Amino acid sequence: MSQPPRRPRTLHDARTEAEAAFKQTTTKVPELPEKKPALPGVRELVSLQIDQDVLEHFQEGGPGWQDRINAALRKAAGM
Q: Which pLDDT belongs to residue 63?
A: 94
3-state helix, strand, coil in the chain (%, to 5): 45, 0, 55
Q: Which pLDDT belongs to residue 12?
A: 67
Q: Which pLDDT belongs to residue 43?
A: 83
With 0.75 as the threshold, say if the pTM is over it: no
Mark the ranges of the chain whose per-residue pLDDT is less than 50.
none
- How far is 6 from 26, CA to CA, in rounded Å? 30
